[in-house]
Amino acid sequence: MERQQSRGLLEKQVPVAPGPSLSSVGASFILLKSALGAGLLNFPWAFYKAGGVAPALLVELVSLVFLISGLVILGYAASVSGQATYQGVVGELCGPTIGKLCEACFSVNLLMISVAFLRVIGDQLEKLCDFLLPSTLQPWYTDQRFTLTLLSVLVILPLSAPREIGFQKYTSILGTLAACYLTLVIVVQHYLGPQVLAQEPRTALSSSSWTSVFSVFPTICFGFQCHEAAVSIYCSMRNRGLSHWALVSVLSLLACCLVYSLTGVYGFLTFGTEVSADILMSYPGNDVLIVVARVFFAVSIVTVYPIVLFLGRSVMQDFWQRSCWLAFVPQALADPAGPWVRMPLTILWVTVTLAMALFLPDLSEIIGIIGGISSFFIFTFPGLCLICAMGLEPVGPRVKCCLEVWGVVSVLVGTFIFGQSTVAAILELF
């Protein structure tokens, strides 16, 4: 009986909803592209902070177990709750209070991630303009405020407009290939690049303390943060069996882990202790391969920004749907996913994040804290959902005990990473 009940967990699926649906390949690419973001630039530096290749890979592999389990838990929680958004799942299973906390953290985290993405895109555009027009006095149209605004209006806004996340499967394939090009360049430069790039020592360093190893967890969380999109992707899939979702999650994160590991290993081995927090800043600015890598990486970030916007917009749409004045508005405004609500919210998100990216001071310290908040969505909230779901599902006592223990462990790990990253960020401020 217990074996049948545990097997039932893997076969569980939500009812198929009408509308566009994702194939397994499309879901894998969106999940993979959600994780392959700006964190790719930081992994060689994270390998240095961890004390070398071996400790960093060990931390990455340990994290991968929790990362994959978090995705599977979120798919299971979505099937139990019947909700189609991350914040909806948490609110349905864990109660309205934790649901409101999740919404607040979700919105702030996604907003700051969007700002960070635009800052990264702007930096790559600035470096590209410096390469194309190396003169001291550059024309006005090379200013980042103009180039980034133009790109946001002409490219990012149209890509962010679609109603369903399934549309992003097309751009995600392009973005994934663009991110892989950066990894390929870093590997090739290690073997074929000029000798001036080689820094000593090029071998793995010994970690000075366990603290330095733990300090890379927030970077890994920032790099692998695809969990915010997991519920939306799962609910858009054509095949929503939990065992099928687990396979998609494993394959996507293994591919992501391969790209991140190659970037981290070869970036660190090339520069050693001299590696920059942004790996592209360690290379000469006039290298054609690096310039092309900057362009491709900007393309990669442009394709992941609409996924983040879609998730942030879903929170605002939920708020709109719960609004008390909804009964007094025209029918066209009653549907939060309709164009008369969706498009203004999309324009508002792009405008606010663009303004913050252009006019706020350096956000590196704040992003460090936001990286810790990402651990909530990878570890803490999935753990809470698993614990609460066990009280609703007919599961055997042994399986139930094991899953509840894993949920508690996930919550504790997420709390530890958030506390460690927050303390470290505060200490850097002072």
d(CA 339, CA 382): 32
Per-residue pLDDT, 193: 65
Per-residue pLDDT, 339: 77
Please enumerate, as own/partner, the contacts of 336-342 that have beta carbons within 8 Å and a separation of 24 or more. 337/163, 341/317, 342/161, 342/163, 342/313, 342/317
Report whether 242 contacts 11 (CB < 8 A): yes
Report whether 313 contacts 343 (CB < 8 A): no
Residues 6+ apart with CB under 8 A from 411: 379, 380, 383, 384, 387
**How many alpha carbons fall within 13 Å on the CB side of residue 227?**
33
Report whether 403 contacts 72 (CB < 8 A): no
| Dihedral sign of CA atoms 166, 121, 351, 142 in order | negative
3-state class (DSSP) for residue 22: strand
3-state class (DSSP) for residue 103: helix
3-state class (DSSP) for residue 129: helix
Report whether 395 contacts 5 (CB < 8 A): yes
Report whether 103 contacts 318 (CB < 8 A): yes
- Picking from 406, 78, 117, the residue whose alpha carbon sits closest to that of residue 245 is 78
Distance of CA 183 to the CA centre of its chain: 18
pLDDT tens track, the chain, 430 positions: 444 444 445 445 444 444 557 788 888 888 888 888 777 888 888 888 888 888 888 888 888 898 999 999 999 999 998 888 898 999 999 998 998 888 888 888 888 888 888 988 888 888 888 888 776 677 777 888 889 999 999 999 999 888 887 777 778 888 888 889 999 999 998 888 654 454 444 444 444 455 666 677 777 777 788 888 899 899 888 888 888 899 999 999 999 999 999 999 999 988 888 888 788 888 887 788 888 888 888 888 888 899 899 988 988 888 877 765 555 666 656 666 777 888 999 999 999 999 988 887 665 555 556 667 778 888 999 999 999 988 877 777 888 889 889 999 999 988 888 777 766 666 665 5
| Dihedral sign of CA atoms 321, 322, 325, 326 in order | positive
Report whether 346 contacts 313 (CB < 8 A): yes
- Domains recognised in the chain with CATH numbers: 2-10+22-306+363-429 (1.20.1740)
d(CA 237, CA 227): 16
Q: Specify the amino acid at residue 234.
A: Y
d(CA 218, CA 391): 31
Residues 6+ apart with CB under 8 A from 119: 357, 363
Report whether 378 contacts 67 (CB < 8 A): yes
Report whether 275 contacts 51 (CB < 8 A): no
Structure tokens at 270: 């090339």
Per-residue pLDDT, 406: 93
Residues in the chain: 430
Secondary structure letter of residue 392 according to DSSP: T
Residues 6+ apart with CB under 8 A from 263: 40, 43, 44, 182, 183, 186, 279
**How many alpha carbons fall within 13 Å on the CB side of residue 99?**
18
Structure tokens at 125: 């555009």
Report whether 144 contacts 126 (CB < 8 A): yes
d(CA 159, CA 127): 24
